[in-house]
């Protein structure tokens, strides 16, 4: 489970609640949701910020509350304002507040004119009672996610169990309450607090799962919904991990094939970059590479190499030259560029601390499930993934080892169908490495009113990434509520 859309190293957002993000006030059960007024204050750059109290456990009559962080950029043309456009950038674990502050002004003018651009940090994320197990994740990512022997496998399990124990000790009281199901209910509270009769939503990657659950639970509250880089909600743990392993492997194969056919590729390696890649990867577990450019005394190991490669692959063809450069540098003895790519994904800061994104990712993803079946179940999935994705499969699957030993049972939601919702626009790329096109196709099938837009692209997600055909269709749908004809391809 490596769903992501944005990889910027996000600055921390202040949390105006206690150390566990809880307060002692009472909250209503789901049947009687509170609708507090949002008090917006300026927070720089034309943005406004607010906080929204929500019950930690909305199935209990008297629950402590947590406080959700929100930001908005008011519509540029108040006279043509339609309402709010709520965005989720993916993850899970990525701050929507920080994403909106970085991205909102780059949205097309017609979207900026018609909508307040809004982001709220889901529970457990960013400024919303964040899960923050430990600021030091080097011990985790220095483990072998592709164990070379029994000792390495035992060390992997022990290291992950230690990390999970830190999560339970630090945030154990919150861990049962950060599911996407609960965040979907929070999103309806956000919609009501914004004063919008119906929700207009744009979700990327993991954000498509959040959107699909919302549409299923509140179909009559949906105005428009774009689900870009769709997560398939129908898959078992095995199918989910294997699908993603195949997606990244296919993305890597496309890169290597392109490089092999282009002598100007810096990792051309005499026309056989695949063999050069395999030789480089094979020696990293026993001989980490110096990576002084990423920090004094640092080295690149096999786990960080795999993470660095997959991070490049998220951006598809546009990042192939940089991937080639990082591989060539590593092949000649400098692992700095690849390690910096890994750091970008894991959220490692130059001082050796990490942002809480990975902690929140595990807390939410492991709770959502599906259950991998413990360590033995995950091992079986790993072996299957290695057959279809020999270069990246084991690493992708073992990124989920924490879910095999997570202390809270999974709370997997029923497959959403969104019966009674208006047309929902699902966007899928033909060669998306993280959420393959089959996921978008399956989501379109299970959501009763969904319409699929297929995009010929090698990157993860499509809207607002420089593809005019996609942007024009999405903009028209969001503003005018006119979806594309079924079967449309960009």
Which residues are catalytically annotated? 205, 432, 460
Query: Is there a contact between 237 and 247 (Cβ–Cβ < 8 Å)?
Result: no
Polymer length of the chain:
490
Instruction: Tally the C-alpha atoms within 13 A of residue 204's C-alpha that lie toward its C-beta.
Output: 27
Respond yes or no on whether the N-terminal peptide bond of residue 169 is cis (omega within 30° of 0). Answer: no
Q: d(Cα 292, Cα 333) in Å, to the nearest integer?
A: 11
């Amino acid at each position: 489970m490596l769903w992501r859309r944005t990889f910027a190293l996000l600055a921390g957002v202040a949390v105006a609640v206690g150390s566990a993000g809880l307060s002692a006030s009472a909250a209503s059960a789901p049947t009687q949701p509170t609708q507090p007024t949002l008090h917006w204050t300026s927070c720089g750059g034309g943005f406004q910020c607010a906080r929204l109290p929500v019950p930690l456990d909305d199935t209990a009559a008297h629950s402590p509350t947590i406080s959700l962080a929100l930001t908005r950029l008011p519509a540029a043309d108040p006279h043509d304002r339609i309402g709010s456009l709520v965005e989720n950038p993916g993850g899970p674990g990525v701050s929507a507040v920080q994403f909106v502050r970085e991205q909102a002004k780059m949205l097309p003018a017609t979207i900026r004119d018609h909508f307040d651009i809004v982001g709220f940090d889901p529970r457990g994320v960013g400024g919303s009672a964040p899960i923050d197990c430990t600021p030091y994740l080097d011990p985790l990512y220095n483990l072998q996610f592709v164990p070379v022997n029994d000792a390495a496998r035992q060390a992997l399990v022990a290291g992950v169990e230690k990390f999970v124990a830190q999560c339970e000790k630090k945030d154990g009281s919150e861990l049962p309450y950060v599911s996407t199901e609960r965040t979907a209910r929070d999103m309806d509270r956000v919609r009501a607090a914004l004063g919008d009769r119906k929700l207009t939503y744009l979700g990327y990657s993991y954000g498509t799962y959040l959107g699909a659950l919302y549409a299923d639970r509140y179909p009559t509250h949906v105005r428009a919904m774009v689900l870009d880089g769709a997560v398939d909600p129908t898959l078992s743990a095995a199918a989910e991990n294997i699908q993603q392993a195949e997606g990244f492997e296919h993305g890597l194969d496309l890169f290597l094939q392109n490089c092999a056919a282009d002598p100007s590729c810096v990792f051309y390696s005499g026309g056989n970059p695949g063999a050069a890649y395999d030789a480089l990867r094979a020696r990293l577990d026993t001989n980490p590479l110096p990576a002084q450019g990423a920090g004094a005394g640092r080295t690149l190991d096999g786990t960080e190499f795999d993470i660095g490669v997959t991070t490049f692959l998220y951006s598809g063809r546009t990042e192939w030259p940089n991937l080639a450069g990082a591989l060539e540098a590593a092949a000649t003895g400098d692992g700095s560029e690849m390690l910096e790519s890994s750091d970008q994904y894991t959220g490692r800061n130059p001082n050796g601390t990490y942002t809480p994104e990975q902690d929140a990712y595990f807390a939410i993803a492991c709770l959502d499930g599906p259950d991998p079946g413990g360590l033995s179940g995950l091992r079986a999935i790993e072996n299957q993934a290695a057959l279809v994705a020999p270069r990246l499969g084991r690493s992708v699957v073992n990124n989920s080892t924490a879910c095999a030993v997570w202390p809270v049972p999974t709370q997997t939601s029923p497959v959403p169908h969104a019966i009674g919702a208006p047309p929902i626009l699902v966007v899928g790329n033909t060669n998306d490495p993280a959420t393959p096109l089959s996921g978008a196709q399956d989501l379109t099938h299970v959501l009763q009113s969904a319409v699929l837009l297929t995009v010929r692209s090698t990157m993860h997600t499509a809207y607002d990434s420089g593809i005019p055909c996609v942007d024009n269709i999405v903009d028209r749908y969001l503003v005018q509520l006119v979806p594309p004809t079924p079967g449309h391809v960009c």
